[in-house]
Amino acid sequence: MGKLSLSYAGHLADRVRGLYDGFVDVKGIDLHFTALPPVEAFNRVLRGEFATGEMSFSTAVIRIARGDFPFVAIPVFPARTFRHGAIYVNSAAGIARPEDLIGRRVGVPEYGMTAAVWARGLLKHEYGVGPEDINWVTGGLTGPGRKPLVNLDLPKIRIEHEVERGLNDLLLEGAIDALIAPQVPPALLAGDPRLAYLFADGPAVEREYYKKTRIFPIMHTVVIRRDVYERDPWIAANLFEAFVKAKNLCLADLTIDEPTTVSVPWIQHHVAATKRLFGEDFWPYGVEPNRATIEALCRFLYEQESTQRRGGVDELFAETFQSAPARL
C-alpha cells in the first residue's frame, strides 16, 4: 500500500526544515511542503487549498470556540516568541512605562492577531492596562491594511481603521503614539531616533516574565482539514511525530560546536543560557508541556472579548491529544 499524499503550507524555519528537505520521513505520508509567508499560508489554508498547514493560534482558538472551524489542530507550534519587544513608541510621545499607554492611540496590523493578544494580555496582567483603556488603530505596517483572518464583534473597544497610510509612517509622525506589531518598524530598524522600544531591554524583561508565569507565548499551530482528518485520523499522530523529529534535529544542530552550524557568534553560550532557563527542550510540542501557555491564551482571548466562552485546552486538539474533558 502506497503512502497517503498530503499537501502542507507554512513558513520555512529551522525547526521544520527537515520536513521541507525530505530529511525527516512522515510515517505513511508523502508530505508536499509549500513554503509561504505566514499570513499567505493562513489565508490559503483557511480557503481549503491545502490538506494541512500552519495557522494563527488565536484564529484557531477563536473559531473553535465559535464552533465554525473546519480543521483539527495538533499541538505543534512552529512559531512562538515573547511580545514585550513587539511594543514600539514614538520617542516624543512621553511614554516611558506601560501605564503611559492609557488613553493613547496605539496601532496594530490586526486587532485579533496572536501577537497583539499576547501583548494586550501582558499589559493587562502585569501593568493594569486593559484593551478598553487604549484607542486602537488598525492598518498595514508600511501600506494599506489587510483583511482580518477572523471578524470580531467588540462593542466596548475603540477601533479606527486606517486604509491609506502605513502604521510605520503614522508612528514616525506622531499620528499614533505607539505600535504593537510582530515585525519591527522599518524606521526603527534603520536607527531613526524618533522611534524606540517601550521596553529598552526587552529580553531581560521577557526572561523575568517567563520565570514568573512559565508562559512562552505560542503564535502558530498546525491544523488538518477536518474532512481529511476524519477520513484518516491516524495522520494526526504521525504528523506530530514527524514535526517533533524535525524540531529535535534542529535543536541538536544548535549544540554542535566544531564547526558550528549556525552563523551566530557565541551560539553555544546562547543555547546553554536558554537551557538553564527553559530546560533541555526549550521549544516543546505537545499539550502538557505547554498547558500553562495555552490556558493563558484562552484566558486572554476571553478577557478581551474575542471569544464568548473560555474554552478548555484539550478541546483545541485532535482526539489523540485530549487528556481531559473540555472545560466549557
Q: pLDDT per residue over 98-130, tens digit each?
A: 999 999 999 999 999 999 999 999 999 999 999
More confident residue, 238 or 145: 238
Residue 76: φ, ψ to 5°: -110, 135
Over 90: is that where the pLDDT of 286 sits?
yes
Radius of gyration of the chain (CA): 20
Any idea what the Cα angle at residue 65 is, between residues 59 and 70, rounded to 5°? Answer: 65
pLDDT, tens digit, 9 for 90 and up, residues 38-71: 999 999 999 999 999 999 999 999 999 999 999 9
Over 50: is that where the pLDDT of 90 sits?
yes
Cβ atoms within 10 A of the Cβ of 75, count? 26
Segments making up each domain of the chain, as ranges = 4-81+217-321, 84-213
Question: Looking at 35-44, 144-153, 290-299, which range is the least confident one?
Answer: 144-153
Average of per-residue pLDDT across 216-243: 98
d(CA 179, CA 284): 30
Contact 92, 174 (CB under 8 A): yes
pLDDT at 324: 43
* Domain 4-81+217-321 sits in CATH 3.40.190.10: yes
More confident residue, 11 or 256: 11
Over 70: is that where the pLDDT of 328 sits?
no
Q: H-helix or E-strand containing 195? A: strand 195-197
Contact 88, 171 (CB under 8 A): yes
Confidence band, pLDDT 50/70/90 cuts, at residue 323: low
Peptide bond preceding 259 in cis form (omega within 30 of 0): yes
pTM flag (> 0.75): yes
Confidence band, pLDDT 50/70/90 cuts, at residue 186: very high
pLDDT, tens digit, 9 for 90 and up, residues 155-183: 889 999 998 899 999 999 999 999 999 99
Kindly state which CATH superfamily the domain 84-213 is placed in.
Periplasmic binding protein-like II (3.40.190.10)
Contact 38, 57 (CB under 8 A): no
Residue 18: φ, ψ to 5°: -60, -35
Give the three-class secondary structure for 33: strand
pLDDT, tens digit, 9 for 90 and up, residues 202-229: 999 999 999 999 999 999 999 999 999 9
- Nearest residue to 34 via CA among 60, 59, 53, 55: 53
pLDDT at 257: 72
- Nearest residue to 228 via CA among 113, 32, 63, 70: 70
Over 70: is that where the pLDDT of 1 sits?
no
Q: H-helix or E-strand containing 21? A: helix 17-21
d(CA 240, CA 74): 7
Contact 178, 101 (CB under 8 A): yes
Average of per-residue pLDDT across 293-306: 96
d(CA 95, CA 92): 8
pLDDT, tens digit, 9 for 90 and up, residues 8-43: 999 999 999 999 999 999 999 999 999 999 999 999
More confident residue, 247 or 324: 247
Tell me the C-alpha to C-alpha distance, in Å, between residue 165 and each of 105, 173, 216: 15, 11, 33
Average of per-residue pLDDT across 75-101: 98
pLDDT at 308: 87
Contact 315, 326 (CB under 8 A): yes
C-alpha cell at 124: 493587562
